[in-house]
Each structure stands twice: as structure tokens, then as C-alpha cells.
A and B are shown apart, each in its own frame.
Chain A
Amino acid sequence: MGKIRVLDDLVANQIAAGEVVERPASVVKELLENAIDAGAKRITINIEEGGLKRIEVLDDGSGMMKEDVAIAFVRHATSKLFVIDDLRKLHTLGFRGEALPSIAAVSRLTLTTRTAEQDEGVHFVIEGGTVQQEEPIGCPVGTKIVVADLFYNTPARLKFIRSLQTETAHVYEVVARAAAARPDIAFTLLADGKTQVKTVGDGAMPTLFSALYNVTIAKSAVAIVLLDEQYQLRGMMALPEYAKTTRKAMWFSINGRPVRSYLIADAVLDGCATMIMKGRFPLICLDLTLDPSLVDVNVHPSKLEVRFSEEQDVRQLIKQAIQDALKAGIMPPEINVSSPLAPSFVKEASQQEQVVLRPRLSNAYSATTTLPDSRSNAPRYGKETAAQVAFAIQEPIFEESKPQDVVRQKVNQALRERRLRAVGQVLTMYIVAQDGESIYLIDQHAAHERVMYERFKQQFQERDHFALPLLVPITQDLPPSSINLLLQKADLATSYGFTFEPFGEQSIVIRTIPSIWEGLDTHQLIDDFITDLLEEKAISDRLLLEDRIIMRSCKAAIKANQTLSLLEMNALLDALAPLNNPFTCPHGRPTAMIITKQQLEREFKRT
């Protein structure tokens, strides 16, 4: 039977490539691992068009000998692993030996490398999986690999790749992940000329954090350290207020190798417990160093998934460390109720001052080329912590405070059915209302602003405004240069119903104003309007100017410290009802908060 044939190398490699080289990011990952294993201190990655046109990885590691290059492109060759036994004692990253030939099989590859012992470097051109050209070249110690025209000979794979931006994003993830695991290596990622990642490689966590995020976050981040006989945990976490809604910013590594691990992620979230909002994930870089025999990294070809032999121990360890770090890093304490609509706080009657997050400054500037030896201070693994601590969160930095849909529906319904009735006003700022099921707190000013905004918008759209003549003309003092500018824009102003003339060297007299300002505080509105008109930008965009006018009008709405009667309060609630978006004021602040019956029962321990 001669039907089964041995596949030639190229085809075999292409098949393997299917498994190992899914997309440009996989290529980058493999090349990065090689670079790191070669002992590089500075690695530069340059991609063009999502990596499909060109991927260049340049490192200052040990370089390769001429003879080794040829072998490296043979399948299953690796310098990193000799016997399966070695697998257990493995400390290097890339051991499968499948990557290079697979990559070479689906791209046009060039490699330039030189070892420290040689004066002469060597430059290889590899196409179709075999060496086409080899020549001496002058180059620094290290390796430079250029992978061009990825998937040029496998159109099927190429079709799978749809968006260059997505590919670039994946490459970013790979590099950031690697960088987060090794603060002692300087990574630079350039995508089409723009710098996406640039770490310094000084070994200090704060610097790494600052490079991945920004100085402010890095300054306030807390250090995570836990050292014991079997495990060493080192990392840094941003304050919970900077938490994101995706898991992507949680970078973990084991023995310096980047990994994804639900176990670690869960443990971290456990450790954050009540300090972080539901559905949010902290910004964190965490490395766990342990004996390689306690972890299995051969689980998946991508080498990203891992299995621990002592799962519970690891989980507990991490949770503990996170809790300790948060406790040490932030000034406590306050009990709070976190609401699903938007965070709010119900102050305990006893607490007077406002609670503010203040991280310890010394964290921020600790120049740690070596991490502090906290063996003496580190809480022993396994010790029980003190009572739960929580603290008040101020409004989240990310404006993604969308109310959860279910609750939102409820409020909407309550509003429309006019079941919402005012109970009273508190602090001359908030209306307390109820609908028989929950308690509502409504910011009177925000709510009224929204009402007015919608009304004015409607008026403007229906062109239902006109110029209101002033009974007594108003004079306004202005420098001559401003008057000249204003005169140039007189026509525009008139179209809104605002007319004026010069009235002295340094003043103008205003004769009519927009009708929507009727009954409002005209002086401030005039001031603001003039400022807007003088600004170049506003003029070119009519809609923008319109919006500005409306926004300002809202400011003339019910002020925060105004006492309202029950009648007025209910009128406001009724006015709020038919609107499309009653939950935020035009400036984005929330108008209403809800405390459900269930929450109350929970807090009062009635469940």
C-alpha cells in the first residue's frame, strides 16, 4: 500500500504552523520567548500593518552560532530541553522547538545574529522553509529576526484575519504581558511607527506600572509582597478606584513566564472582596515564583495555561497577600453600601469627616531595583486577618457608570407610572422618594437641569425662540479689542436673538436677548454668552454654540440649596417622567440613586 506518504518538511511545518502560528501575535510571542531565553536586556518589536506585512524582533541576547541557525529551523530542534525529565525542572520559556520552522514555513524570514565570541555576524535569508542565502555581516551581539509577508503562501489563513487593528491589539497584549512579567527587561513595541509599549527595564515595579499605565496610577499603587519557604509573590496593584470592566489588565506570571490563570484571577478578586465594584477588575501585575515541580506548564501549546499541584495553597496565599497589601496601602475605614445603579454611600451617623482615599506616599517613590525584604514584616502565610475593612469609594473614574439594566427598568417604570412620590427633602439638596418597593434619592438640581435641557432643546429645534427686547437695556464693559471681535460676530449673535451695539470706548449696550432666557439670571448668562462668542471654536460649529447656550441655561435651573415644597418636588418628578434619559443631568452626573428593599434587608441583617 503506497497511499500513505511521508509529508515533506515544508508541508509538515505548515501544518504545525496552523497550531502554533495562528496570527501575528503568536509569531511575536514565540520570538519574544526566544529573545528572553537568550538573556536579552533590551528587546524591540516593530510591526507593520498588524504584523502581517512585517514583524521585526531585535534583542541584545546571546545570539546564535552560524551552525545552530540551520538546525533551529528543523522541526523539534531545541537547545532548551534534552529529556522529558528536564521538563519538570524547566526554567526557560520556549521549549517546544516547533516555533521557528513553523514561522519560517509561512513567511519570508531573515535572521541576523552574532555571538559575543565572534567578530563577524551572519545574515540568513530563509524562504519556503530553507536557507536561501547566508553571508557575513557587521552587527551587534544579539539577534534580529524579520518576519515579512506572513501567511503569503497560506491564503486560507490570511482570510481569517479580518482587522489589522485587532491584530495590533493582540500583539500589544502579548508584549505587555511579557513586559509585565519581566520588569528587568526593557521592551519597546512600535506599531506602524507609533510607540505602544515602552518599559524601562530597571527592575522596579513602580516604573513598570507607570510605563504600562501612567504616573498618577503608579504613584498610588500598592505593592504586593509575600515570601515564604515555597512561594514568593511579588507585584503591584492599582487602587480599586482605577478598576476596569475587563480582565485584560490583570497580568500574571509564574517564574517570570507570562500566564493566564483563572485561579490566580479569582484569588485576586477574592482578596479585593468588598473594596471593588462588582463586575470590575483591578489593574495588577503579579509574579509567583515557585519550584517548577509544583506547576505544570505543558497544558496547552500556547504555554499560557498552567496547573498547580497545590491549588488551595496558592489561592489562599494570593488572597492573603492582596488583602494585606490593600490594608497597608490605604487609609481605612468606613462601611458602605454599594448600589447597583451607581456607587453611593450612606454615611454612618457617627462619621463626620469625608472619607478620602489616600495612599501612602512612600509606596510611590520607593526606588526598588530589588524589592524590599519584608520577611520580618510579612504576615505569615495562614494567619487570620483582622475584621473586614471596607472603605467609601467616590465616583468611579471611568464614566461607565451605566446602571444595571434590571434596576434601571424598575426605576423607569416607577417614574412613568407616576408611582414615585416625594417623601421629603434632605440637606436642601436631595429629594427622598419612594414607590413602595425602594427608596430613591434624587439630586434636585441635576434633575431640574435635565428637565430644562430637554425643554430648551425642543424649543430650539422647533425654532420656537425669538429675540426678547429688554425693558431696560443692559450695558456691559469690555476691552476695545473684544468689542471689535464681537462686532464681527454680530450677525451670528442676532440669529439667536441677541443684539447689541457699541456704547462707549469700552462698553456695549445690549438691547435684546434670546427668549429662552426669560425669567433667568440674565447677567451671568450674558457674560457666558459673550465669552462663548469670543471663542473662535464655537463659531465654526453652530450646533456646538447652541448646545452651549442650552447647557448654560440649565445652570439657571433650581439651585442645589433651594428649599422645595412637596408640591414642587412632585412636579419635578412628574416632569422627569416622560423624558428619554432621566438618569443623568446634561453634564453626565447621575440624577437618581436607588436603595432597594433587598439591600436594606441585607444591611440590616434581616435576610
Chain B
Amino acid sequence: MAGKPTMIDQYRKIKQSYQDALLFFRLGDFYELFMEDAVVVSERLGLTLTGRGSGESRMPMCGVPYHAADTYITRLLKEGFRIAICEQLEDPKTTKGLVRRDVVRIITPGTGFDYRQDRHLLIGCLDFVDETNAVAAVIDPMSGDSYRQSGTLSDVQNWLFSFTLAEIIVSTTQTQAVYAYGKQLAAVRQIPFATFHEIIQSEMGNSPETIIKRYLLYTGKRELTHLKEGQEQPSDVYLHLSETARRNLELVATMNGDRKGSTLFDVIDFTQTSLGKRQLKAMIERPFAQIAWIEHRQAAVRTLVMHRLFAEEIQQHLKGFPDLTRLLSRVSYGTASPRDILLIAKALQTANTIWTLFNDVPLEGELKDLASCPIEVQALITRIMQTLVDDPQTGGKDGDIIRAGVSEEIDRLRSIASGGRTYLAQLETTLRQQTGIKSLKIAYNKVFGYYIEVTSANTHLVPTTYERKQTLVGAERFTTKELRDYERDITQADEQLKILEAELFSQVVAEVQRELVALQKIAEAIALLDALNSLATCAVEYGYTCPEITTSTELSIEEGRHPVVERFVTGQYVPNDTLFLEMTRRIGLVTGPNMAGKSTYMRQVALIVILAQMGAFVPAKRAKIGLVDKLYTRVGASDDVAMGLSTFMVEMTEAAEMLRGQTARSLMLFDEIGRGTATYDGMSIAEAMIEYLHDTTKARTLFATHYHELTSLPERLDHVFNLSVAVSEKEDQIVFLHRIVERPADRSYGIQVARFAGLPEPLIERAKVILHHLEHAPSPFAPQYEQVKTLFDEPSDDNREAMQVLQQLLELDLDACSPKEALRLLYAWQNKLQAK
């Protein structure tokens, strides 16, 4: 196409730079998409696909109205699309030719936090040289928080996925190996993956942190003042939780996605603000591994537990506290509306009030730190409240947001505009007198503006100076020079007003920007306060107590309860003790029927440790926790079929990782190792594992197993002890008592549980018989037993007696036996056998 560039040319040029995103091209009141974008969007959103142009050059087009764009963008975002917003940068009314356009914002699954109020979005980036040298960073685009960690690849990877990421990016400046690895990691975990095309490495260096920051600048298309300094997270400061442990313990997300309200977070969440919720989640995801930090938080929680009125008052003030972090991010991204700014002022006022409450109570620990956060924002609050009207209706571009009395010029223009209108209304009276037309009206509509309306009957009285504008059925409309002059003044004043008000508003926004860092600190303080209050409230409501954290490797819990399960069993949850001692009790073997509470018990121990190391109170009568550095679980049979691995393989891989990484301070929970393979194999591996743990680190372990044979291990391994779930038997019916007792299970109860589950009776009886076979075939007697079997038709309890007799016979030393003795024994044996 020769000649001047058309709009389509403009579109194509811009689209070239944004191949991997849907380009929302602003045309007047609509965002239009063209070509493949249009097809995709019309399909996904169910919008009509139209076209532009004709004949061969006709291209598909699909659009959404500007005002309603947000909902559509949200939907597309949820489906994983990236969206580039291209705006008109000039006023079409004043430009000749093509209006200048450019992309002002790219919305991606990680950066679209304003469209995803339901989720907390985080962006992650990984880099490594080899297995031992890796570094990763995570940034929250909304709050600006930034974290990083370096170490071995597996450690760093584990740290990276301890966050719930919304997007993983790799820059084209990183190596091919990193790209492939990152892509695979994201694919497996189903996290959106983005390639950040960078031409050259900037001087900022190439750490993951700077890569993400550059990505944010690229997608936000502006300088972002709210991004904070990255914090290095040394690996020994936080409790190490494996990915599977996090998932299995259902800390912040359930394993199968449904069953709302049953994660640990759900149970202890008494927060009032979204700030607090995010903070609480972060606390759960990252418990401490340093006693000083734990006690620091405990002190704060304890203060709130003891001073209930203080805590309740704070809670009241926090209700309805705006999402300050989100509002501040809008200021940084330049999308803050007058309403948003007013909400910031209101939030700061509430914060002020809350800070005054701090004087009434002796503050400890984290509360004390919190209270010392500076809060000199009165000047800013006043400035905002005095400049903006109480209830701004518009988004800031349509005026009517600045208070009267703030700017002389604005007041003057307003009075011209409204004064002009009043004048016109009053002009009506004057004109009526002048013309003698009693029904003369001055009115307005969008098309013609102001006009004088006279009924047809009176048209003859109209002075000649009036210019006819419009004719209607029963009336005629006129204008005069005076009217037009006034109209022009009013319109000009209106437009000037809009510009001026927008200017003043942006000044206010700039002032907020200047204080952004201080305001962010206040937001952080409020988030922490809300989260601490939540911990205190749940401690009081649920009857939790304050645990003691020690440096030994002891772990004793008196009457511990599972924090989540106990909420669902309303009052009937059976508490249980836990005891690990330095010397004699390190590895606990837990036997007993399934469904009797073994898994719940083990999870309970883990959750209590996590709560304790979070600095919170725990569901127990008393707890003394020897600091745990790493918590591993091997619970449940989760087949990662996606990875192409079988249950057993997964088990072994995880177990391998656990055994590699454990220290004397670790806590290990194994639930039914060896299920996915042959019995003897599994049992051997299990026994060997226990011995390994025993002989190396003696990490505190709970080993739930269905291999009843292992209960003899405590006899030769000092630090191993037996536990089981108590069961009450009454005429073949079993009742689960949910109590953990200090002895091995009597039997395996598998058959009883099967009957309980509803297998047919004949099957149960037959199973019993087979069991009896197997139980009464200890290795030395296996051949003998074969013989015995042929002697009797049906095996029965008599066999036991018979076998005892046989054993005694075999063991008899005939050479040392006198005839008398021999006869005596013969009599005895006959008696025994006849007694049946």
C-alpha cells in the first residue's frame, strides 16, 4: 500500500513487537483486536467476530467497549493469556491525520494483580551455573516485596516453590540450559511461563532479581517507585519444608483443590484485612528455625492474648481497612483514581487511631517493633482531604474532584460555568418579558446545546434577531448571538476545568508518591498487626497454649490435637501425647489398623511443630519443642503420573531425598513405606531404613507401618520405641479409640477393618483361615507344617497344640532322657492331643 501510513499499518507495526500477547488496540470508545487475536478472543469470550475492510483485504476484527474492558481482561488472564494495551496518546479531536498510539501496559498472569483480587500474585526467576551454584528470586509486583536465595540447585528450587508462583520468567540473556530447565519446571507445576526478550544485558547485571525488575518495568512501561530492596533469605533461618510436605500437610492449599475451609490457614485465619491474610499465609509458609525470632513473635502474640480488650479494639478498627498495599501499587503504576487516594487517606487515619491505642498496653516482641514504625502522615492526610471532594464520582479525568476553595482559578472557572448557566436560566424570565411570550423556554440538549424554544403559536412574536436552529412539530427553536457567546464561554470553562482539575490531582498523587516508602512501611505494619491478632484470637477461641522452644532435640507434647481435624469433629477429638527424648526415644514405630488415626496423629505432630515455630500458640495442654531444622513427610500415595513415575518410584525418590538431607535436628514422618512393592522387599527396605536412621543421625522420626514384624526392633535398637493406636474389641466388633498407646499393636486388624468396610462375610472367614496358616508357619517349621497339613483335612486351632507337641518331640534329647521321663512325656502328650 503506497501513500500515507494507515491505521492498519500502525497496528501491524505495533503488533510485531508483541507477538506473544493479545493486542488491545484502542479505537475511540473500543479496544479492537485484529486477525488471529480477534479469532481467539471471539471464541474464548463469546464475542461477535466482525471484519474491517472489504474484499481480499478484509481482516477479522473483534472489540470490547473501553468501559467494560476489565471483566474481559480478567477472563483472558485467568486462561493464561498475555494482554498488551495500546492506547491513543493524543486527543483525536485536535490531531490531524493518524493519532499517535503505543502500548502503555502489558498484563501478564504475574503482573495482572489489579484484575485478580482473588489471588496473590508472585513472579519467580531462576538461574544456575551447575548443581551446586544456583540463585533464584521472587518478587510481588503489587507490594514490591522482593526475596532471593542462593545455594545448591535443589535447595534453591525447593525454596522457589515454597512460594505459590503465578508466573515464571526466563530472560533471553540467560543460558539455553536454564531456559529448558525453567520451562520444564513450570510445565510440571502448571505455572504460566514467559520468555522475556531482552536484546542486551543491561548494566544492572543479570541476577534473577534484576531480571524480574526489568520485566516489571517492561510490562508497566514506567518507573516503579514501590519496588523494594531484595532480602536474602539464608537457608538456616527458616524451617525447611519439602514441597511434598507442604502439599501433604495442607498448609495453605488442599491436596485435591476442593473441600474449602480445611487448610491450616483457613482454621487460624481471623484476619480482617486482605493485607493481614497475605501476611498470615506468608507466616505459615515460612516458619522460623531460630529461637530468638520465634520468641520475638511469641511475645507479641502473648501480649494480645493477655490483653483481650486491646486486641478486640484493634480488631474493630481493622474491619474495613482498605487494601493499602494495592492502593499504593496503583499510585506507583499511575492508575490511582481520586477514590483510591481518598481511601489511602482514610486508611492512614485509621492507622493513626490504632497507633494511639499502643500507649495503653505494655508491648512486647514484634508488637513493640511494629509500634515504633513512624507514622507522621497527618500532613499528607490533611492535604488529601482538603484538596479532594468527599465523594469523587469520576475517574479523575472528568472533573468534579477538587474541593471548592482550593484553587482560585478552578473556583473562577466553576462560577463562570455555573454562573453562566444560572444567567441563562434567568435569561428566560427577561426574554419572556421582552418578547411577551409567556411560554418561552430556554433549554438544552446534547446535539444542539442551548436554545430558545417557542411554541408554533407564538412564532410570529419572535424578534427577527433570533436565528432559527431547529423546527419541531409544535415548536421552533432559536438561538441568539448572546446565547451562543455564553454557551461558548461555558464550554470553554468546562474544558479548562477538566484540565486544571486533572493537573491538581496529579500533584496530589505526586505527593503521595514522595511518601511512598513510608506508607509502604505502614502497610506492612498493619498487615503484621492483623496477622498477629489473628494468631492471638485463634489461640483464645480454640484453647491453644504457648509452647516452649528449646535447643535440645527433645519434643514433648501433652494432649496435642490436630488443629484442623479438631474443628471438624466438634468437641470429640481425642487428644494424644507425643514424647521424643534425647537418649532413649528417637524413632517411633506406629502400628495399628488403618483408619484408626495413625496419619492424623503424625500430621498433628508436624502441624504443632509448624505452629510453634511460626511463633504461634499450639493446640495442646503443654508443649516443649526442641527446635526442628527440617521437616519431611512421606505421607500418602500420590502418584505423579504426569512425571511418568509409579507410586513406589515416587516413594523411593522422596525417601532418598529425606535420608540425604536429614540432620539430628530434623523431624521425619513416614507413612506406610513400601506399599508399592512386594511384601518382603518392602519390609526389608523399611527395616533397613529404620536401622539407617538409628545408626546415623537419629533424627526424630515417626514411622507408621503395616509391617507388624517390625515391632520387635526396639529389642535390639535402643532408640526405637513402639506406639500404636488403641482399639477396643468386643465380640469381633472393633471400636477405634483414637488413643496412641506405648505398646505395639496386638494384631494387624486388617481383617477386622475389611469387615468393617463391608467385605462379604464368607470372604472374611476364609481370610482368617489363610491368615492362621501364614501366622503359624515360622520358618523352622515350614516343612513340618506341610506334612501336618496333609494329616488333617481342615486346619484348626488344634494344630497349635499338635505343633507344640511336635516341637517338644523334636527338641527332646533322647540320649539324655530316662525311660521313666519318656513315658511321662508320652502320657502328657497323649492327654494334650486327646483333650480336644
Interface residues of chain A, those whose CB is within 8 Å of chain B, are 41-42, 44, 58, 119-121, 135-141, 144, 186, 200, 202, 204, 206-207, 210, 215, 218-219, 361-362, 364-365, 367, 369, 471-475, 477, 479-482, 501-507, 509
Chain A residue at minimal CB-CB distance from B426: A472
**A interface footprint on B305-318 (CB within 8 Å = 1, 0 otherwise):** 11111101100100
Chain A residue contacts of B571, Cβ below 8 A: 44, 58, 140, 144
Q: Which residue of A lies closest to B726 (CB)?
A: A119
Given A136-B730, A210-B312, A365–B360 Cβ distance below 8 Å? yes
B575 at interface, CB cutoff 8 A: yes
Asked if B739 CB lies within 8 Å of chain A CBs, one says yes
B95 within 8 A of partner (CB): no
Residues of B near A186 (CB, < 8 A) are 543
Whether the pair A479, B307 counts as a contact (CB closer than 8 A) is no
**With A479-B400, A504-B490: A509-B425 Cβ-Cβ less than 8 Å:** yes
Interface size on B, residues (CB 8 A): 49
CB distance from B574 to the nearest CB of A (A): 5
Decide: A120 and B726 in contact? CB cutoff 8 A. yes
| A215, closest chain B residue (CB) | B312
B interface list, Cβ under 8 A from A: 305-310, 312-313, 316, 360-361, 393-394, 398-400, 414, 417-418, 421-422, 424-426, 428-429, 443-445, 450, 490, 494, 540-541, 543, 571-575, 726, 728, 730, 735-739, 741
Is there an interface contact between B739 and A501, defined as CB atoms closer than 8 Å? no
With contacts A136-B735, A473-B428 taken as known, whether A210 is within 8 angstroms of B398 at the C-beta atoms is no
Decide: B540 and A364 in contact? CB cutoff 8 A. Answer: no
Asked whether A503 lies within 8 Å of B421 as measured between CB atoms, the reply is: yes
CB-defined A-B contacts under 8 Å, sample of 16: A58-B571, A119-B737, A120-B737, A138-B736, A139-B572, A200-B541, A365-B307, A367-B306, A473-B425, A474-B422, A474-B425, A475-B422, A477-B414, A477-B417, A507-B418, A507-B421
**Min CB–CB distance A352 → chain B (angstroms):** 28
B428 close to A135 (CB less than 8 A): no
Q: Give the shortest distance, in Å, between A361 (CB) and chain B (any CB).
A: 6
CA A369 – CA B306 in complex, angstroms?
8
**Given A477-B418, A503-B443; A139-B726 close (CB under 8 Å):** no
Report Cα–Cα, A509/B312, bound state, in Å: 51
Q: Cβ of A138 and Cβ of B738 under 8 Å apart?
A: yes
Which chain B residue has the least Cβ–Cβ distance from A366?
A: B307
Most chain-A Cβ atoms within 10 A of its Cβ — which of B316, B394, B444?
B444
Q: How far is the CB of A184 from chain B (nearest CB, A)?
A: 13
Q: Which residue of A lies closest to B418 (CB)?
A: A477
Q: How far is the CB of A583 from chain B (nearest CB, A)?
A: 36
The answer to whether B574 and A138 have CB atoms under 8 Å apart is: yes
Nearest Cβ distance between residue B601 and chain A, in whole angstroms? 12
A135 and B421 contacting across the interface, CB-CB below 8 Å: no
Cβ-defined contact, B444 with A502, below 8 A: yes
The smallest beta-carbon distance between B272 and chain A, in angstroms, is 14
Known A136-B735, A140-B574; judge A503-B425 contact (CB<8 A). yes
A215-B313, A503-B425, A504-B421 known; A365-B361 Cβ under 8 A? yes
A154 → B minimal CB distance (Å): 29
5 tightest CB-CB pairs across the interface, nearest first?
Answer: A138-B737, A138-B738, A136-B728, A367-B306, A207-B308
Measured CA separation A509–B445 after assembly (Å): 12
Per the bound structure, the CA–CA distance linking A367 and B361 in Å amounts to 9
Closest to B487 in A: A504
Question: Which chain B residue has the least Cβ–Cβ distance from A502?
Answer: B444
CB < 8 Å: which of B443, B543, B572 contacts A501?
B443
Task: Report B-chain residues with C-beta under 8 Å of the C-beta of A207.
Answer: 308-309
Contact of B308 among A41, A44, A202, A475 (CB under 8 A): A202
Residues on A with C-beta less than 8 A from B309 are 206-207, 210, 215, 218-219, 364-365
Shortest distance from the beta carbon of B562 to any chain A beta carbon, whole Å: 12
State whether B444 touches A42 (Cβ < 8 A). no
Considering the chains assembled together, what is the distance between the CA atoms of A361 and B313 in angstroms?
13
Cβ contact of B398, chosen from A202, A365, A479, A507, cutoff 8 A: A479
CB contacts (< 8 Å) of B741 on chain A: these are 119
Closest residue of chain B to A209 (Cβ to Cβ) is B309
B443 touches A481 (CB 8 A): no
- Given contacts A477-B414, A506-B494, could you give 10 more A-B pairs where the C-beta distance is less than 8 Å? A44-B571, A120-B726, A138-B726, A138-B738, A202-B308, A367-B307, A473-B428, A475-B425, A480-B398, A509-B421
Task: For A44, list chain B residues within 8 Å (CB).
Answer: 571
A593 to B: closest C-beta gap in Å: 35
Which residues on the A side are within 8 Å of B313 (C-beta)? Answer: 215, 219
Instruction: Please state if A200 and B445 are interface contacts (CB–CB under 8 Å).
Output: no
A474 to B421, CA, bound (A): 9
| Residue among B305, B309, B739 having the largest count of chain A Cβ atoms under 10 Å | B309
Cross-chain contact B737 with A202 (CB below 8 angstroms): no
Across the two chains, which residue of chain A brings its CB closest to B736? A138
Q: How far is the CB of B490 from chain A (nearest CB, A)?
A: 7
Taking A144-B571, A367-B306, A501-B443 as contacts, is the C-beta distance between A215 and B398 under 8 angstroms? no
- B394 near A479 with CB under 8 A, answer yes
Complex Cα distance, B573 from A354, in Å, reads 57
User: B540 is contacted by which of A200, A474, A480, A506 (Cβ under 8 Å)?
Assistant: A200
